[in-house]
Structure 1
Amino acid sequence: MPAETTAAKINQYVRWGSIAIVVVSLLVIIRTLPFDVVTSAMNEWIGSLGWWGPVVLVLLYIVATVLFVPGTILTLAAGAIFGLLVGTIVVSIGSTIGAALAFLISRYVARERVAKLAKDNRRFAAIDRAIEEGGWKIVGLLRLSPALPFNLQNYLYGLTPIRFWPYVLTSWIAMLPATFLYVYLGHVTGAAVGADRERTTAEWAMLAVGLLATIAVTVYVTRLASQKLDEQVDQDQRENADTSKQSGSVATSNARRTVLLATIAVSMVLLAVYVSMNSGDIESTVTSWLGPPAVDATETHSPNPSGPNIDHSLLDEVLATHVQEGGWVNYEALRDNTGKLDRYLDVVASAPWDDLGRDEKLALLLNGYNASTLKLIVDHYPVDSIKDIPATDRWDAVRWNIGGNIWSLNQIEHEQIRPHFKEPRIHFALVCAAVGCPPLRREAYHPDRLNEQLEDQTRIVHDHATWFEHLAGSNELRLTKLYDWYAGDFLQSAESIPHFAATYSQSLRQAIDSEQDPTVEWLPYDWSLNTLPNRRPR
């Protein structure tokens, strides 16, 4: 076998092996990074825009394309947020319009600068001549092939003889396979981590088979396009240069591409290893950027023992009737009989807020938040998760009346409770209607028993593996993500997160006293609805 043929096959094996390594590394990175946190934050923001959400993502994609910013993250996010169909449409529109604008900029605005950059590129010169002869067919092959970066292609085509509309139509069609692949990848990772729950083997198998099939089809189409493109370009190069010199040039070019791809693959592996080894620190950093706002908790309300008392008996009845042991809610029955819940919300709305003492206010806020969340779910039932409710109607909807003040659920938690009560146990009392939330009590919080109830609620959380795991003699500690999201609140009351949790765990206290520093990991936070059909061991 000729040496040149052997070298070509080795290059081919290395290239495809590198591509496989890059794909696997990318999956590891996405699976390890807090993609759910980023997606949730972006989903909240885009979702809050209503029907403007997809429009904004299209505009972001257009800007990214024109400015040479890789659109991979936006494509993945589109798949995770909007799903396969809408995500593909959004990315396709954005990438096509962006490519069209870059083409027009190159042809009519910055032609001399782009031409100067492309002048010394021998492969582009050959592609230019191939496009002159093959027109839109060569553009289609290039779009399907990784021969030139996507954003660079958009500008280079403005220098070629290709007409605008054939270029746009061909680009749109030829970019669809890669668009669908990355949207599907975002959809898979979003589905895998977005709900943050343990998935069945069948679910993982379906996700994996669909992803592998999509990758296989895309790679196959890309390979065919690359081969056809090479034939076209090589033929043009042979017609315009000495064959022996050109052969050496092509071999050198292929070798450089192989080295570059292999370097990228090695870099991706190193990045995947780094991300895997530092996932905790990365997630904490991202959470601090995108998570709940930090607050400086202080006690700002006076006790006022002679102040008025609020009657929470209606909520007691609602919870005792519709909440079962473990915090599972019969939302269907509650939906059919909301009378007491509605009357209790009227009680909360008419409470004399300014005259209430400290414990009365905190009990009112906790009960008002939980009762409002029940009402929110009932108003949109049936839903699989509170996150299925449009963002504009969910945590940021300013609609809940607490003592004559109209607040959103986020305002109740982050503006009225956390800053004004130095009480981190409230995070185990506020319930967001999810399986991963602390269990909803079968009674309302009452000012005269508030400390006792908060202490009991916190102990319940630390007695169940859904929120707390620590094996005696082990330095591994697994905690609910509430500790991660609201770390600052707990650190204002304890030396460290493990020290706070150790108050409710004898084995953890003994480990800390023995100077065994526990390694903290975060338990999955299941956002599926805390409804009876989802009932499971805690």
Structure 2
Amino acid sequence: MNDQDPTASRGRLMRLLPILIFVSVGGIGALALGDTLSFDTLRDNRAALLAFRDANYPGLLLAFVITYVAIVAFSLPGAAVASVTGGFLFGIYVGTTVNVVAATLGAMAIFLAARFGLGATLSARMEAGEGRIRRLKSALHETEVEVLLLLRLVPAVPFFVANLLPALVGVRAWTFFWTTGVGIIPGAIVFTWIGVGLGEVFDRGDSPDLTLLWEPQVIGPILGLCGLAALPILIKLIRGKAEV
């Protein structure tokens, strides 16, 4: 005899459906696209893209944002290429803006899909738990702004990881949204800046050097921002230990 409630089972399936769709589409997209979203593709289509931009600037801007949102939301390959392309097509100011907006919207999409699926269940269990697990969730909520900013600022943290983890531990959606938008600005400026000079790089027959992010004059200020984001966390940890 099966005592499982069919309604409850359907409810769990519906909660998991969004994240399953994102994972499935992302996997299929990664296999189908392969290395299509590359600098070689951009170089080969450079003239056509620039001509279309000059003839239909708003249309290309909208198409770029939609494409970038899809890349981030489905964790498709080519996010770095898309960021650099934003600078190549639209310049430093508009390029940085559209890169930040598109990346934030894409991150929000995968966050919400995970939040209302696995994240909702896991967060509820953490809330109902006792002892160390409940204290961990409470500590995360006390420092969630600082932690989220730190996740975005540290270049070594994969972007999709920084999108999924907050959803799984019950971070507030609005907090996730604005910290994502603010936290990715430094990196977005760097990639957009590389894109601004991409035409000259192509003219020389070279490929863009994305290792610029790790140059001391670039990574130094970013690490400084990481330190500022981490400082309140350290202070709260020290105060917590002192109180114990």
Which interval holds the TM-score relative to the shorter structure? 0.5 to 0.7
Report what 1:88 is aligned to. Answer: 96
State the SS of the aligned residue for 2:184: helix
1:179-229 Cα shifts (integer Å, max 9, x gaps): 010010111122x145x379xxxxxxxxx9xx9799545412332344566
Given the alignment, which residue of 101, 111, 115 partners 1:103? Answer: 111
Deviation at 1:85, TM superposition (A): 1.2
- How do residues 147-296 of structure 1 correspond to structure 2 at under 5 angstroms? 147-190=156-199, 192-193=200-201, 196=203, 216=216, 218-227=218-227, 232=233
CA distance in 2, matches of 1:111, 1:73: 30
Q: Which has the larger radius of gyration?
A: 1
Q: CA separation in 1, counterparts of 2:144 and 2:120?
A: 22
Q: Note the C-alpha offset of 1:37.
A: 2.8
**2:78 aligned with 1:74:** no
One-letter amino acid matched to 2:89: I
Following TM superposition, by how much is the alpha carbon of 1:140 offset from its aligned partner in structure 2, in angstroms? 1.1
The number of residues matched between the two structures is 187
- 1:39 maps onto 2:46 in alignment: yes
The one-letter code sitting in structure 2 at the alignment partner of 1:72 is A
1:335-384 CA distance string (max 9 Å, x none): xxxxxxxxxxxxxxxxxxxxxxxxxxxxxxxxxxxxxxxxxxxxxxxxxx
Question: 1:92 & 1:78 partners in 2: Cα distance?
Answer: 10
Query: Aligned match of 1:145 in 141, 144, 154?
Result: 154
Q: Deviations over 1:430-478 (max 9, x none)?
A: xxxxxxxxxxxxxxxxxxxxxxxxxxxxxxxxxxxxxxxxxxxxxxxxx
Task: Note if 1:57 corresponds to 2:64.
Answer: yes
One-letter code of the match for 2:189? F
Q: Deviations over 1:285-328 (max 9, x none)?
A: xxxxxxxxxxxxxxxxxxxxxxxxxxxxxxxxxxxxxxxxxxxx
Displacement after TM superposition at 1:95 (Å): 0.6
Unaligned runs of 5+ in 1: 1-28, 116-124, 199-207, 241-538
Report how far residue 53 of structure 1 moved. 0.8
Given residue 62 of structure 2, which amino acid in structure 1 is its aligned partner? V
Structure 1 SS opposite 2:155: coil
Query: Is the 2:186–2:222 Cα contact (8 Å) retained in structure 1?
Result: no
* CA spacing shift, 1:52–1:139, aligned 2, 3 Å: same
Q: Is the 8 A contact 1:78 1:88 kept in 2?
A: yes
Deviation at 1:174, TM superposition (A): 1.4
State the 1:61 CA deviation: 0.8
TM-score, with normalisation over the residues of structure 1? 0.30
Cα 1:35/1:61, change in 2 over 3 Å: closer
The separation in 2 between residues aligned to 1:167 and 1:212, in whole angstroms, is 28
* Deviation at residue 54 of structure 1 after TM alignment: 0.6
After superposition, the C-alpha distances for 1:95-138 in whole angstroms (9 at most, x for unaligned) are: 111111122111114537998xxxxxxxxx99966532212122
What is the 5 A alignment of 1:7-26? none
Whole-Å Cα distance in 1 between the matches of residues 141 and 120 of structure 2?
20
Matches of 1:126 and 1:47, distance apart in 2: 56
Residues 87 and 114 from structure 1, CA distance in 2 versus in 1: closer, same or farther, beyond 3 angstroms?
Answer: farther
Taking structure 2 as the reference length, the TM-score comes to 0.61
Show the counterpart of 1:136. 145
Letter in 1 for 2:224: L
Post-superposition shift, 1:77? 1.0
Q: How far did residue 164 of structure 1 move?
A: 1.7
Task: Please give the alpha-carbon distance, in whole angstroms, between the structure 2 residues aligned to 1:177 and 1:83.
Answer: 16
Give the deviation of 1:34 after TM superposition: 7.8
Contact 1:100 1:168 survives alignment (8 Å): yes
Q: Secondary structure at the match of 1:51?
A: helix
2:193 aligned partner, one-letter code: Y
Would the alpha carbon gap of residues 222 and 213 (structure 1) be closer, same or farther in structure 2, given more than 3 Å must change?
A: closer
Deviation at 1:75, TM superposition (A): 0.9
User: Tell me, what secondary structure is at the counterpart of 2:175?
Assistant: helix
CA RMSD of aligned residues (A): 4.0
